[in-house]
């Protein structure tokens, strides 16, 4: 795929998710496609208009591949993982007497909440 069309990579990622789902199940496919690829795509779309233009099509394909309940479960797992990471970061900060909030994790949690609302609203 040429750098010019990199914003279209979601199509290959959706195809890969089908293979993952067949081999390893829905959770693995969702973790790959939604928890990793869609979230990275959204983060990139915050900076690049070509990705913004492809986002509705990517989201529509996610909704074709998975049910709303499966998608909700994928986002719930992602949120739990991020909350666990934040808790571990906070525990480590307390142990080292260097209290710092994880702004990065909080930003990720906000992005996940926004994407979750967007994906579940689009096909509802």
- Cα end-to-end distance, the chain, whole Å: 33
Contact 61, 13 (CB under 8 A): no
Question: How far, in Å, CA of 119 to CA of 53, rounded?
Answer: 15
Residue 116: partners with Cβ closer than 8 Å, 6 or more residues away: 72, 75, 79
> Where are the domains positioned within the chain?
3-122
- Answer whether residue 123 shows pLDDT above 90: no
- Eight-class DSSP state of 66: S
Contact 18, 66 (CB under 8 A): no
Using one digit for the tens of pLDDT, what is the confidence trace for 99-115? Answer: 555 667 788 899 999 99
* Per-residue pLDDT at 87: 83
- Answer whether residue 4 shows pLDDT above 70: no
Using one digit for the tens of pLDDT, what is the confidence trace for 78-93? Answer: 999 999 988 887 777 6
* pTM of the model as a whole: 0.83
């Amino acid at each position: 795929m040429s750098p010019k069309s990199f914003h279209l990579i979601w199509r290959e990622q959706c195809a890969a998710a089908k293979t993952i789902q067949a081999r390893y199940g829905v959770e693995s496919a969702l973790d790959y496609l939604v928890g990793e690829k869609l979230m990275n795509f959204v983060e990139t779309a915050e900076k690049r208009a070509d990705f913004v233009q492809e986002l509705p099509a990517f989201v529509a394909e996610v909704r074709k591949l998975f049910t709303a309940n499966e998608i909700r479960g994928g986002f719930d797992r992602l949120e739990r993982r991020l909350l666990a990471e934040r808790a571990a970061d906070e525990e480590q900060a307390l142990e080292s007497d260097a209290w710092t909030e994880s702004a990065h994790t909080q930003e990720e949690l906000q992005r996940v909440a926004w994407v979750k609302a967007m994906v579940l609203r689009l096909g509802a």
